[in-house]
């Protein structure tokens, strides 16, 4: 059954007509073609689909689209400003925190959520907060370095 | 080496698209008119198909096509065609939980899923067998129409091990086992096939070896090779899982032909865990003998590899592990016997290290046991047996460069071996393991060569067409660095074109740590060819001699005795070549491995490897006596790189591989219930997370290589080859528990600690 859905994604209000069983991830990727948000497991286990919904990070595969009614959602596509990389993106690039890149959008969104909550997390907090995001390529070393560099640069 | 570009910590050329979400992967692809395919898979590990009824599925609104064995070519297929044993769909019997039985295409994924559930299959269950050694017994159920479940055998032999063991002062024997583990690429296996009316089949997929997969698709569909085109997008991980064609490629192709529309088939994560193939599980009976001074005299092994239900890379995996077995140390008497054995499980395939992590685990754990018997320090026994540069091994291999002794030195020092070994407090200990791995892929195709092309545009951009297959490891960045280095450019001026078999020269793909070596060598040859043409053009333009020209900062600069310095930009130079010389600058370069024509893989199997890379890893662990948790405190990974092309990327390869190795050793395992994978999600299949990552101290040892580009060796796989053995040896040092089977779970440790 389809129902009306009013949602703001990356500052753009949308008036959509969406089946009640569909997830926020499906709407973002399949209906709006914002494919920067990745699909890894559809079970909330890998973090590749992480987006920020009303200020907190969520696995968009675990959120029914209609649960996001009236919400503001931010995806990876919204991070650059006038073609300039966000400091987190810049740091991931500079520190070699990206290999295949499939987990990267989720990693960057989780990092943004973490630093907005606590601009000065210790290494242990970074590791425990980021635990829901899996990476099979990098072994996490350079991702942690990239996050610490953003933290120490005072940017978020 | 430090050039202007080579050796520097340069960010990947694809990292900005990946950091901004604009990099397109195959799962992101949507073509006009595209519909969705889904495969019906066997729910039973071994059964006869009595009947199949697709009528209800066909009648479901939204279904575009339903296909079964009756709709596809049914010739048998395998990566090695002489071992062909699998058809696109099973028609008579299924051999594992996940075997392809039928497929549908529908207007959306939900309808396809519903249609699959409407297909009626009547199965007659057969007895199934899941353990290799059980499958080898005389009364085991036969999985294929063969006399036994042993699918392939290989033997390698030199010297006289039997006699040599007699004269050894110390001999140890043991059985070691490694589990089947999943690659867990974050992007699932998927493809889009479009078979258009002019007879052209285009398949977009995440393939590690597009050119050989193209051949495989043509072979299984019985169509001309020229009709098939494979296109790669960015790829969400490979690790060996995407070398051989998956059956979803021909299935999507036939569905596309039937419907006249592009068809996408994408695994669910559960499907990926159950059907996307695993690392070969090895059971290894190993025997090693040494003199009392610690010199190794003889070693034998019998490897039983778990094939799963069908052949894939098994023979090559066994062959490769035999080579590494023979070259890690210079042991004069060796016998290697390997076999792959069918079981009613999903197929196994290549996985980073290609049989070597399994065998290195067994051999390097046993070496510690031997050292203990002799009364020798584990580092010392490795040092005295280490190969040296220029050494010709008794098995016939030559190691022109070898940094193993430096690796041992730095790995021992950085873990504080002398202070920490045998400290016997708080269940803490250190471990060490060596390894050797190919630094240049393998030659067993009988062919190991590739080309690339360069063009210089009148805007100063240099484009290179390379077959280098980027799966996340960084080969496109390495290729761009080589071009920039040779032509005096910045990284932004180099464009890498790849990913389409219609465009790129033939190449065997990204596997065997070969991409930097093979594709890099071709890029280097092409760039040097371009350099000659560019300099000749500049000499004409600047009215001087080629020997006075240098390329730097995007300019050709003329400097000579008694002449004023003159320069011209790469763009103007290219325009001059086009407009004034009627000769646009475009060149071709190639690299070909000089494989001896009379090479016989059977008798000279070690020559399969062009260049070797050695490494030593050490680690420190602490075991929690209450939970059995093995906490990895630190890893030192000292790896020979030949020449480090890009420190940051090289570290990244090794750090990532060490973490995969930690997963392989301590966490990862497929749990089966009557052949069905029970832990088919990341919640139950434990992957290392941020929390398990120890400090990883990567040491890159530059020893050069006579054949690699700038002396580089491939390092893509090496990082996880010695990891399991180093960890198991550290666990022994910490607890006195000798581990011979992977994974080393908490339950195992807890029980072992209680029994002590």
The three-state DSSP-derived secondary structure of B352-402 is CCCCHHHHHHHHHHHHHHHHHHHCCCHHHHHHHHCCCCCEECCCCCEECCC
Of B14, B21, B185, the CB nearest to A77: B21
From the CA of B445, how many Å to the nearest CA of chain A? 27
Note the maximum CA span of chain B: 92
By three-state DSSP, how is residue B259 classified? helix
Chain B residues whose beta carbon lies within 8 Å of the beta carbon of residue A103: 186
Q: For residues A46 and A39, what is the distance between their CA atoms, to the nearest angstrom? A: 9
Q: For residues B671 and B661, what is the distance between their CA atoms, to the nearest angstrom? A: 19
pLDDT at B1: 65
Closest residue by Cα to residue A41 from A102, A108, A110, A89:
A102
Q: Are B488 and B4 in contact (CB under 8 A)?
A: yes
Pairing of strands B278-279, B348-349: parallel
CA-to-CA separations, B6 to B2, B10, B306, B530, B712, in angstroms, rounded: 6, 9, 42, 18, 11
Q: For residues A89 and A104, what is the distance between their CA atoms, to the nearest angstrom? A: 9
From the CA of B606, how many Å to the nearest CA of chain A? 30
Q: Does A75 touch chain B (CB under 8 A)?
A: yes
pLDDT at A155: 44
By three-state DSSP, how is residue B8 classified? coil
Q: What is the pLDDT of residues B475-526, one digit of tens each?
A: 999 999 999 999 999 999 999 999 999 999 999 999 999 999 999 999 999 9
By three-state DSSP, how is residue B586 classified? strand
Q: Are the Cβ atoms of A136 and B691 closer than 8 angstroms?
A: no
CA-to-CA separations, B460 to B189, B290, B464, B668, in angstroms, rounded: 38, 62, 13, 50
Q: Are the Cβ atoms of B22 and A79 closer than 8 angstroms?
A: no
Q: Which residues contact B195 (CB under 8 A, 6 or more apart)?
A: B201, B202, B253, B256, B257
Closest residue by Cα to residue B404 from B254, B626, B615, B261:
B615
Q: Which residues contact B704 (CB under 8 A, 6 or more apart)?
A: B401, B642, B643, B711
Q: For residues B752 and A75, what is the distance between their CA atoms, to the nearest angstrom? A: 48
Place of tokens 């198991």: B728
pLDDT at B601: 76
Write the ipTM.
0.98
CA-to-CA separations, B434 to A113, B113, B400, B447, in angstroms, rounded: 42, 49, 18, 30
Assess whether pLDDT exceeds 80 at residue B664: yes
pLDDT at B447: 84
Calculate the CA dihedral of residues B223, B229, B233, B235 and round it to 10 degrees: 40
The answer to whether the bond into B743 is cis (omega within 30° of 0) is yes
Of A36, A133, A141, the CB nearest to B21: A36
Of B234, B687, B693, the CB nearest to A101: B234
**Domains present along chain A, CATH in parentheses:** 2-75 (3.10.20.30), 87-151 (1.10.150.120)
Q: Does B396 touch chain A (CB under 8 A)?
A: no
Q: What is the mean pLDDT of chain B?
A: 96
Assess whether pLDDT exceeds 60 at residue A154: no
- Interface mutation target, options B648, B690, B697, B720, chain A, most CBs of A under 10 Å: B690
Q: Do B26-126+186-237+242-275 and B449-592 share a fold?
A: no
pLDDT class for B566, splitting at 50, 70, 90? very high
From the CA of A67, how many Å to the nearest CA of chain B? 21
Chain A residues whose beta carbon lies within 8 Å of the beta carbon of residue B15: 92-93, 98, 101
Q: Does B533 touch chain A (CB under 8 A)?
A: no
Fold of B449-592: Aldehyde Oxidoreductase; domain 4 (3.30.365)
* Cβ-based contacts under 8 A for chains A and B: 170
pLDDT at B222: 98
pLDDT at A79: 98
Q: Which residues contact B66 (CB under 8 A, 6 or more apart)?
A: B54, B57, B58, B102, B103, B104, B115, B119
Chain B residues whose beta carbon lies within 8 Å of the beta carbon of residue A36: 20-22
Q: Does B652 touch chain A (CB under 8 A)?
A: yes
Assess whether pLDDT exceeds 70 at residue B415: yes
pLDDT at B623: 97
Residue A14 phi/psi, 5-degree rounding, is -120, 140
Q: What is the pLDDT of residues B429-459, one digit of tens each?
A: 999 999 999 999 998 888 889 999 999 999 9
Residue B752 phi/psi, 5-degree rounding, is -65, -40
Q: Are the Cβ atoms of A136 and B23 closer than 8 angstroms?
A: no
Q: Are the Cβ atoms of B12 and A96 closer than 8 angstroms?
A: yes
From the CA of A86, how many Å to the nearest CA of chain B? 9
Q: What is the pLDDT of residues A47-80, one digit of tens each?
A: 999 999 999 999 999 999 999 999 999 999 999 9
Q: Provide the residue ranges of all domains of chain B, joining segments of one domain with +.
A: 26-126+186-237+242-275, 278-443+601-755, 449-592
Closest residue by Cα to residue B122 from B228, B50, B67:
B50
Assess whether pLDDT exceeds 90 at residue B425: no
Q: Does B684 touch chain A (CB under 8 A)?
A: no
pLDDT at B59: 98
Q: For residues B491 and B484, what is the distance between their CA atoms, to the nearest angstrom? A: 6
Q: Are B710 and B730 in contact (CB under 8 A)?
A: no
Q: Are B450 and B590 in contact (CB under 8 A)?
A: yes
Q: Which two tokens stand for residue B220?
A: 């299984």
Note which residues in 49-68 of chain A have CB less than 8 A from chain B.
Answer: none
Query: Other C-beta atoms within 10 Å of A51: how many?
Result: 28
Q: What is the mean pLDDT of chain A?
A: 96
pLDDT at B349: 98
Note which residues in 421-480 of chain B have CB less than 8 A from chain A.
Answer: 471-474
Assess whether pLDDT exceeds 50 at residue B7: yes
pLDDT class for B605, splitting at 50, 70, 90? confident
Assess whether pLDDT exceeds 60 at residue B330: yes
User: HSE on the CB side for B539, CA within 13 Å?
Assistant: 14
Q: Does A150 touch chain B (CB under 8 A)?
A: no
**Helix A141-153 / helix A104-117 crossing angle, nearest 10 deg:** 40
Chain A residues whose beta carbon lies within 8 Å of the beta carbon of residue B651: 96, 141-142
Over residues B318-330, the mean pLDDT reads 95
- Interface mutation target, options A99, A108, A134, chain B, most CBs of B under 10 Å: A99
Chain B residues whose beta carbon lies within 8 Å of the beta carbon of residue A89: 16, 19-20
Q: Are the Cβ atoms of A98 and B27 closer than 8 angstroms?
A: no
pLDDT at B164: 98
Of A37, A39, A141, the CB nearest to B21: A37
Fold of B26-126+186-237+242-275: Aldehyde Oxidoreductase; domain 3 (3.90.1170)
Distance of CA A145 to the CA centre of its chain: 19
Closest residue by Cα to residue B41 from B135, B145, B113:
B113
Q: For residues B101 and B98, what is the distance between their CA atoms, to the nearest angstrom? A: 9
Chain A residues whose beta carbon lies within 8 Å of the beta carbon of residue B25: 35, 38, 102
Assess whether pLDDT exceeds 50 at residue A156: no
Give the nearest chain A residue to B649 (CA atoms).
Answer: A96
Looking at B93-107, B440-454, B534-548, which range is the least confident one?
B440-454
Q: What is the pLDDT of residues B154-181, one digit of tens each?
A: 999 999 999 999 999 999 999 999 999 9
Beta bridge partners of B40: B102
Looking at A107-111, B243-247, B423-427, B614-618, which range is the least confident one?
B423-427
User: HSE on the CB side for B344, CA within 13 Å?
Assistant: 28
Chain B residues whose beta carbon lies within 8 Å of the beta carbon of residue A140: 655, 659, 688-690, 693
Q: Does A122 touch chain B (CB under 8 A)?
A: no
Fold of B278-443+601-755: Aldehyde Oxidoreductase; domain 4 (3.30.365)
């Amino acid at each position: 059954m389809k129902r009306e859905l009013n949602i703001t994604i990356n500052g753009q209000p949308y008036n959509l007509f969406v089946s009640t069983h569909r997830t926020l991830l499906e709407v973002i990727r399949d209906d709006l073609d914002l494919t920067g948000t990745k699909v890894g497991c559809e079970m909330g286990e890998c973090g590749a689909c992480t987006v920020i919904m009303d200020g907190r990070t969520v696995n968009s595969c675990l959120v029914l689209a209609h649960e996001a009614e009236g919400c503001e959602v931010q995806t990876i596509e919204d991070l650059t400003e006038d073609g300039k990389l966000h400091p987190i993106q810049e740091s991931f690039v500079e520190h070699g925190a990206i290999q295949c890149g499939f987990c990267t959008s989720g990693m960057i969104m989780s990092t943004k959520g973490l630093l907005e909550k606590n601009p000065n997390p210790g290494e242990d907090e970074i590791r425990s907060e980021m635990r829901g995001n899996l990476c099979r390529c990098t072994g996490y070393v350079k991702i942690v370095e990239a996050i610490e560099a953003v933290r120490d640069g005072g940017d978020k | 080496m430090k050039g202007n570009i080579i050796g520097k910590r340069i960010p990947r050329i694809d990292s900005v698209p990946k950091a901004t979400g604009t990099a397109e992967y195959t799962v992101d692809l949507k073509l006009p008119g595209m519909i969705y395919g889904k495969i019906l898979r066997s729910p039973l590990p071994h059964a006869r198909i009595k009947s199949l009824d697709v009528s209800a599925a066909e009648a479901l609104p939204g279904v575009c096509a339903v296909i079964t064995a009756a709709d596809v070519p049914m010739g048998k297929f395998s990566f090695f065609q002489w071992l062909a044993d699998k058809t696109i769909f099973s028609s008579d019997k299924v051999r594992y939980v996940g075997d392809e039985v039928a497929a549908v295409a529908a207007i959306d994924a939900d309808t396809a899923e519903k249609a699959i559930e409407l297909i009626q299959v009547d199965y007659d269950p057969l007895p199934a067998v899941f353990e290799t050694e059980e499958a080898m017994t005389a009364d085991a159920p036969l999985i294929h129409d063969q006399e036994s479940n042993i699918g392939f055998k290989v033997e390698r032999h030199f010297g006289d091990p039997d006699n040599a063991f007699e004269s050894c002062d110390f001999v140890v024997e043991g059985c070691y086992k490694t589990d089947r583990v999943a690659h867990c690429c974050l992007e699932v296996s998927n493809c889009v096939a479009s078979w258009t009316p002019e007879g052209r089949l285009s398949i977009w997929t995440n393939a590690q070896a597009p050119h050989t997969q193209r051949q495989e698709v043509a072979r299984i569909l019985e169509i001309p090779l020229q009709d098939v085109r494979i296109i790669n997008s960015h790829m969400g991980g490979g690790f060996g899982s995407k070398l051989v064609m998956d059956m979803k490629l021909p299935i999507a192709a036939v569905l596309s032909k039937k419907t006249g529309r592009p068809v996408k088939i994408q695994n669910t994560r559960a499907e990926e865990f159950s059907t996307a193939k695993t690392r070969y599980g090895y059971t290894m009976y190993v025997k090693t003998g040494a003199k009392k001074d610690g010199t190794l005299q003889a070693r034998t092994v019998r490897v039983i590899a778990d094939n799963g239900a069908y052949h894939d890379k098994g023979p090559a995996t066994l062959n490769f592990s035999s080579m590494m077995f023979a070259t890690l140390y210079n042991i004069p008497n060796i016998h290697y016997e390997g076999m792959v054995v069918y079981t009613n499980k999903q197929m196994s395939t290549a996985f980073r290290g290609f049989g070597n992590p399994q065998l290195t685990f067994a051999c390097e754990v046993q070496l510690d046991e031997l050292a203990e018997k002799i009364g020798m320090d584990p580092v010392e026994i490795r040092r005295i047996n280490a190969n040296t540069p220029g050494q010709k091994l008794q098995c016939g291999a030559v190691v022109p460069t070898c940094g193993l002794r430096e690796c041992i030195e730095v790995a021992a020092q950085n873990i504080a071996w002398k202070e920490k070994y045998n400290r016997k407090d708080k269940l803490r200990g250190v471990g060490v393991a060596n390894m050797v791995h190919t630094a240049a892929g393998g030659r067993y195709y009988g062919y190991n060569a590739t080309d690339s092309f360069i063009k210089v545009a009148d805007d100063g951009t240099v484009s290179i067409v390379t077959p280098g297959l980027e799966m996340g490891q960084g080969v496109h960045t390495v290729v761009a660095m080589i071009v920039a280095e040779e032509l005096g450019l910045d990284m932004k001026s180099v464009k890498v074109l790849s990913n389409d078999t219609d465009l790129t020269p033939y190449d065997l793909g990204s596997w065997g740590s070969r991409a930097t070596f093979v594709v890099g060598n071709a890029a280097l040859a092409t760039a040097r060819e371009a350099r000659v043409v560019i300099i000749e053009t500049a000499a004409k333009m600047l009215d001087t001699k080629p020997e006075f020209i240098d390329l730097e900062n995007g300019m050709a600069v003329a400097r000579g005795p008694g002449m004023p310095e003159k320069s011209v930009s790469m763009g103007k130079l290219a325009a001059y070549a086009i407009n004034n010389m009627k000769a646009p600058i475009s060149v071709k370069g190639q690299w070909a491995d000089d494989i001896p024509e009379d090479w016989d893989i059977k008798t000279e199997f070690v020559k399969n490897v062009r260049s070797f890379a050695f490494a030593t890893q050490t680690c420190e662990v602490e075991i929690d006596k209450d939970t059995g948790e093995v906490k990895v405190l630190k890893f030192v990974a000292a790896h020979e790189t030949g020449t480090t092309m890009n420190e940051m990327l090289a570290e990244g390869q090794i750090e990532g591989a060490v973490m995969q190795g930690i997963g392989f050793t301590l966490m990862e395992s497929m749990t089966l219930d009557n052949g069905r994978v029970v832990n088919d999600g990341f919640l139950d299949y434990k992957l290392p997370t941020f929390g398990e990552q120890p400090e990883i101290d990567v040491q890159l040892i530059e020893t050069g290589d006579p054949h690699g580009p700038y002396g580089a060796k491939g390092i893509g796989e090496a990082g996880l080859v010695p990891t399991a053995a180093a960890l198991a040896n550290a666990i022994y040092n910490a607890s006195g528990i000798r581990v011979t089977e992977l994974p080393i779970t908490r339950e195992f440790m807890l029980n072992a600690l209680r029994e002590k």
